[in-house]
Amino acid sequence: MALSPSGPPKLNRKFLLVSLALIVLAGILVYANSLGGQLVWDDETLVRYNPYIKDWSHLPKIFTSRLGSVAKEAGAFYRPVQTFTYLVNYSFGRLNVTGYHLMNMAWHILAALSLFGLIQILFKDGKLSLLCALLFIVHPIHTEAVAYISGRADSLAAFFIFLSFILYLKHGEKKGVFVLGGMMISYVLALLSKEISLILPPLVFFYHYAFSKPVDKKAFSVLAGTLIGYILWRLLVVGGGSVAEGIPPAFFERLPGVFVALTNYYRLLVLPFDLHMEYGGLLFPYAEPKAIVGVVLLALTLLYVLSKRRRDPFLFFAAGWFFITLLPSSNLFFPINAYMAEHWLYLPSIGFFLIVARFLIALYEDQKHKGLAIAVMIGLLAFYGVLTVRQNRYWNNSIDFYKRMLHYAPSSSRLYNNLAKAYHDDGKNDELIEILRAAIQLQSDNALAHNNLGNAYKETGNFKEAVRSYQQAIAIDPKHAGPYYNLSTIYSDIENKKDEAIALLNKSIELSPNFSKSYNKLGLIYLERGETEKTIELLGCAMKLNPDDPEVYHNFGYVYIQTGDYRTAEDMYLKAIKADPNYVSAYNDLAIIYFTQEKYAKAVEYCDKAVSLGSSNPSLLEALKPYR
């Protein structure tokens, strides 16, 4: 069965509706258990601590800044559409993580639906389109792009790439400015979603070459012009950056890793076991067995596909799709900070699914093997679906997530550091120091691990070692704001060190002007000095940057108590509780305000809530006894 894009589409309405429903249902079934996932890895920077997504006034900055720029960690990535979708998420549910996972699932489903449409237009075969889309939506290789909130860029880019490709093909059938405009807008959105979208014009050109179709010169010129405009915007407005950390390895050092990755990709598409993140920027010798296997696999694939090029353009196109979409993340043209990553198969996997789907459809259309084909299809989809559901579970708990990753990358200092943070966030502090020491032993210049070790020492009351760790972190990376802030929290409690604390906080603000806690802490120091106006100004900056921080509202409440403005203080304490319903200090302070105002019923209510959260204020409890 050699498919080629010819003839009118033959898809009845009932089959279309059933197909769309099956794709949506499959997406929901395999990713429903991802909705309970936590924020992990880059989610902290891109979502939790990203002020750009917390106020619509930051919209211009979203479209003129690189990803991660809010934390002074901007690399080469420029994905404003991804950040914009986080802004939409935040507007509806603030930091309710379920909403972010739900949107990830929705975009993956939309990508699968648009893939169904693209394949149907290309090959006019409903069964092929449906099976390919189902394989795409359930295959576990995509869990990293779906269960990981920061992986959303893959499904966003894929959806808009497919939509733009569809409209390009439609323009060939039906000329029109609206189709052309829709194609251009879709491609712009794809480019602003992820850099991989650069491959669309080469992919479209390859489609024409594979099937000997004439190029739609007008539509292709619009695609090419859009790409040129995007490149100019990146260079002149946004700026570039490196996608590799440190000194990048030379081409011939990276080359064996390209073939090791290819061997792994082939295996993961067929047997997707042992999936994980953090493959790292490993370098391999030329004698590495997987590198040799990769060379052989590539040679055999090219020889077979090219030998069938004229008789089987479908196979040529599917294989070409795989390699063309893989090239940008292959480490061939420029170094990247990992030799491979599972989410880099989000688009290339479609070439594999096309070949598998065609084989199974051909088997199905042979009456002798129809039953076998149905059994294999159902079995394969169920097999991949179950593996996806199982893989999602690893993303639901950050401790389990990092432990699993350490199993595959035991020499990763960064993973030990992230595991320590996960333990800390979960209130499990007993093992922190040992975990962080392990991270530093693996990488002595890991500034973040030294900083977090300082935090661990500080929480145990070992301030001498905490100061030493913060100072080491600053010495290793003087451009990282965290240790300046953390060291200031120790010095701010020492009378003769307060000026140093102020200097440290000003330095942290200089390095990371979007870090709200620095403004908050600096405001409290000025409050101690009686500079109320300066305090209110600084706390206002903190509140604008992070409107989810109950501590800022609580501190504002304390400031207004000092000035005698109890009404505003009450409002601030209530906002602290809204931001965190378990913020016990706000309940205690509200109870005191209501007692002072002789609102005894309310005072009792808030005092009891504080007690239920573990707080004990004996004098307040005693004062409220007559009013119970």
pLDDT for residue 66: 78
Q: Please, are residues 124 and 5 in contact by the beta-carbon 8 Å criterion?
A: yes
Give residue-wise pLDDT tens across range 107-134.
999 999 999 999 999 999 999 999 999 9
pLDDT, mean of residues 326-352:
93
pLDDT at residue 43 above 60? yes
pLDDT, mean of residues 417-424:
86
Q: Report the 10 Å Cβ neighbour count for 176.
A: 11
Q: H or E segment at 584? A: helix 584-596
Q: What is the three-class DSSP state of 216?
A: coil
Give residue-wise pLDDT tens across range 249-287.
899 999 999 999 999 999 999 999 999 988 888 899 999
Give the count of domains, the chain.
Answer: 2
Residue 72 lies in a domain: yes
Q: Residue 240: pLDDT band by 50, 70, 90 thresholds? A: low
Per-range mean pLDDT, top range of 54-58, 185-189, 606-610: 185-189
Same domain, 287 and 385: yes
pLDDT for residue 237: 83
Q: What percent of the chain has pLDDT over 90?
A: 67
pLDDT for residue 392: 94
Q: Which of 496-529 are b and which e, b meaning 16 or more Cβ less than 10 Å from the residue's Cβ?
A: eebeebbebbebbbebbebbbbbbbbbbbbbbee
Residue 7 lies in a domain: no
Give residue-wise pLDDT tens across range 493-506.
888 899 999 999 99
pLDDT for residue 568: 93
pLDDT for residue 126: 94
Residue where a domain terminates, one of 368, 393, 418: 393
pLDDT at residue 289 above 90? yes
| CA distances in angstroms from 312 to 303, 318, 324, listed in the order given | 13, 10, 18
Q: Please indicate whether residue 350 or residue 431 has the higher confidence score (pLDDT).
A: 350
Same domain, 279 and 350: yes
Same domain, 278 and 386: yes
pLDDT for residue 241: 60
pLDDT, mean of residues 377-393:
96
Cα 595 to Cα 292: distance, rounded to the nearest angstrom = 78
Same domain, 405 and 327: no
Residue 388 lies in a domain: yes
pLDDT for residue 375: 96
Lookup result for tokens 């739900």: 102
Same domain, 357 and 441: no
The alpha-helical segments, DSSP class H, found in 477-549 are 481-491, 498-511, 516-528, 532-545
pLDDT for residue 143: 96
Q: Which of 259-284 are b and which e, b meaning 16 or more Cβ less than 10 Å from the residue's Cβ?
A: bbbbbbbbebbeebeebbbbbbbeeb
> For position 571, which CATH number holds?
1.25.40.10
Residue where a domain terminates, one of 333, 364, 393: 393
Residue 66 lies in a domain: yes
Structural domain span for residue 260: 13-240+250-393
pLDDT, mean of residues 545-560:
91
Residue where a domain terminates, one of 330, 365, 393: 393
Give residue-wise pLDDT tens across range 117-176.
999 999 999 999 999 999 999 999 999 999 999 999 999 999 999 999 999 999 988 778
Q: Residue 371: pLDDT band by 50, 70, 90 thresholds? A: very high
Tell me the two tokens of residue 322: 């795989």
Q: Residue 460: pLDDT band by 50, 70, 90 thresholds? A: confident
Same domain, 446 and 334: no
